Chains A and B, each alone.
Chain A
């Protein structure tokens, strides 16, 4: 068996993601492996993925708190081709907005505009 993608996946899981401008825009919450031998095809990011990272008995409760996985909203698929560089963080080729990442830190959101000293 080809063990390499597995060890790369292990190294990447939970890593910080930066966009092309150095903005922190999430962590690698899960990894999509496909094919035989398996290859990494995408990084999966978003709070909708948190329940599946927990022990089985806690998942039900976590899902009730965070809501179900909604792809494109709280669970995003970042195709492997978008990854530019892997160093101390995973660096993407594009900007966070283009990939739908970092929406919670979007300065146009309601709460953000109302923070003091903004």
Chain B
């Protein structure tokens, strides 16, 4: 009974922590531009992250190796360093985007200078991380991120044409470069690598072993599937409200408006609160990921569970990443723009961190009886092929559409 409760709480935290600024920006815009047409790309990306996270969690539980440990082992120093540098740049952009998003929401709620909120948001995150243990951080943002369920309620309340919604899950391609750009963006936003790197390091933080494999599987399958429902609801509410009006949501606050339309002031506050916790949690996850990756690659002591005294370089690098991200946001680049770059470059860097994990997860000499079975193997390689195609297409599409500007 106790273990069922623990697993349920884990799933809830995975669900609440699923969305970040990338999903919110891309899915809201995708709904406004293409109504329900891109729901299939969300579903595809969600299955992708479930496959990748399940493998990473399983490798971490069985061998005690998080992602960048595996990368250094499999790719060696030189190629591994390339993966590290690419991932770190993407992570830094992601932290900046999430921090900027957090500041935007705070500004909408409390109305004062934007740059003040950027600094306050960063300080607030340092305080939260300093005070709470690893599990507490995960639960705070995960549970409060559940406020995003207001978007699912809004979608149901609006009563969209469910036939059209269902039709959105049928994959379709068009020759429009803008549409293709959003296919890549929506897919990549669901499959941000930092989430998985954080997840696998978290497995070590929480001392997972072979007895945690059921928990891992349920987190990845149920937690992410429900997270995918939240991500889809963003498209549905935006497609219902903004598409007929021809509104193009250019800022983060617009994403909360459908909830206001359905439930008034309460809906707006719930939506803004949900976005705040999702984006805040993602800022912590992505900045932790950056320092996990660095520490694991170089062999430093790491982990929130070790405490700053035992893992000082890990802690210091975390503070440095957060500080650098703060400078990026304060430089005045629009956080929505930073978000788009972080998502597009994430999919470019993804194959380098995905392949080593796929290889180790399928290697019986490391994994024994827990190596990839036929389902994981087939899905794992199919997604690898898909990721390669999207990684090659991402930058040309970004340039061709002028960053989604059309």
Q: Residues of A at under 8 Å CB distance from B?
A: 13-17, 23-27, 29, 45, 47, 50, 53-55, 58, 88-89, 102, 104-105, 107, 109, 111-112, 115-118
Partner pick for A102 among B64, B76, B77, B301, CB 8 A cutoff: B301
B285 within 8 A of A: no
Instruction: List 15 additional contacts besides A16-B69, A111-B316; criterion CB under 8 Å.
Output: A15-B73, A24-B301, A25-B299, A27-B299, A54-B81, A58-B78, A102-B301, A104-B312, A105-B310, A105-B312, A105-B313, A112-B309, A112-B316, A115-B316, A116-B126
Residues of A within 8 A of B77 (CB): 14, 29, 50, 53-54
Residues of A within 8 A of B72 (CB): 14, 27
Closest 9 CB pairs of A and B: A27-B299, A53-B77, A112-B312, A117-B130, A26-B299, A24-B301, A105-B301, A14-B72, A88-B64
Name the distance in Å between A12's Cβ and chain B's nearest Cβ: 10
Q: How far is the CA of A16 from the CA of B63 in the complex (A)?
A: 12
Q: How far is the CA of A117 from the CA of B127 in the complex (A)?
A: 9
Partner pick for A118 among B64, B300, B309, CB 8 A cutoff: B309
B330 within 8 A of A: no
The 14 sampled A-B contact pairs (Cβ below 8 Å) are: A14-B80, A16-B69, A16-B299, A24-B300, A26-B299, A50-B77, A53-B77, A104-B312, A105-B312, A112-B309, A112-B316, A115-B312, A116-B126, A116-B308
Which partner residue on chain B sits nearest A102 by CB separation?
Answer: B301
Given the known interface contacts A88-B65, A105-B313, A111-B316, the answer about A13 and B300 at a Cβ–Cβ threshold of 8 Å is no
Interface size class of B (residues with CB under 8 A): 20 to 34
Q: How far is the CA of A102 from the CA of B300 in the complex (A)?
A: 7
Which B residues from 107 to 130 make CB contacts under 8 A with A? 126, 130
User: B301 contacts A25, CB within 8 Å?
Assistant: yes
Residues of A within 8 A of B309 (CB): 107, 112, 118
Can you list, as one digit per residue, whether each of B73-87 has a CB less than 8 Å from chain A (1) or not (0)? 100111011000000
Name the distance in Å between B353's Cβ and chain A's nearest Cβ: 16
Can you list, as one digit per residue, whether each of B301-341 has a CB less than 8 Å from chain A (1) or not (0)? 11000001111110110010000000000000000000000
B298 within 8 A of A: yes
User: A104 contacts B76, CB within 8 Å?
Assistant: no
Given the known interface contacts A88-B64, A118-B308, the answer about A53 and B78 at a Cβ–Cβ threshold of 8 Å is yes
Given the known interface contacts A109-B312, A115-B316, the answer about A13 and B81 at a Cβ–Cβ threshold of 8 Å is no
Q: Residues of B at under 8 Å CB distance from A?
A: 63-65, 69, 72-73, 76-78, 80-81, 126, 130, 298-302, 308-313, 315-316, 319
How many A-B pairs fall under 8 Å by CB? 73
Name the distance in Å between A54's Cβ and chain B's nearest Cβ: 5
Q: Name the residue among B130, B299, B315 with the largest chain A CB count within 10 angstroms.
A: B299
User: B299 contacts A24, CB within 8 Å?
Assistant: yes
Q: How far is the CA of A23 from the CA of B300 in the complex (A)?
A: 9
User: A104 contacts B65, CB within 8 Å?
Assistant: no
Name the distance in Å between A15's Cβ and chain B's nearest Cβ: 7
Which partner residue on chain B sits nearest A45 by CB separation?
Answer: B299
User: A104 contacts B300, CB within 8 Å?
Assistant: yes
User: B316 contacts A54, CB within 8 Å?
Assistant: no
User: A55 contacts B78, CB within 8 Å?
Assistant: yes
Name the distance in Å between A53's Cβ and chain B's nearest Cβ: 4
User: B76 contacts A24, CB within 8 Å?
Assistant: no
User: B315 contacts A14, CB within 8 Å?
Assistant: no
Q: Name the residue among B76, B77, B316 with the largest chain A CB count within 10 angstroms.
A: B77
Given the known interface contacts A54-B77, A55-B78, A105-B313, the answer about A117 and B308 at a Cβ–Cβ threshold of 8 Å is yes
User: A13 contacts B76, CB within 8 Å?
Assistant: yes
Residues of B within 8 A of A116 (CB): 126, 130, 308, 319
Residues of A within 8 A of B81 (CB): 54
Partner pick for A14 among B76, B126, B313, B316, CB 8 A cutoff: B76
Residues of B within 8 A of A107 (CB): 309-310, 312
Residues of B within 8 A of A115 (CB): 308, 312, 315-316, 319
Residues of B within 8 A of A50 (CB): 77
Q: How far is the CA of A45 from the CA of B310 in the complex (A)?
A: 20
Name the distance in Å between B58's Cβ and chain A's nearest Cβ: 14
Q: Name the residue among B73, B301, B310 with the largest chain A CB count within 10 angstroms.
A: B301
Name the distance in Å between B125's Cβ and chain A's nearest Cβ: 12
Which partner residue on chain B sits nearest A107 by CB separation?
Answer: B309
Which partner residue on chain B sits nearest A87 by CB separation?
Answer: B64
Residues of A within 8 A of B319 (CB): 115-116
Q: How far is the CA of A104 from the CA of B72 in the complex (A)?
A: 20
Which partner residue on chain B sits nearest A113 by CB separation?
Answer: B312
Name the distance in Å between B28's Cβ and chain A's nearest Cβ: 36
Q: How far is the CA of A117 from the CA of B81 in the complex (A)?
A: 31
User: A23 contacts B130, CB within 8 Å?
Assistant: no
Which partner residue on chain B sits nearest A29 by CB separation?
Answer: B77
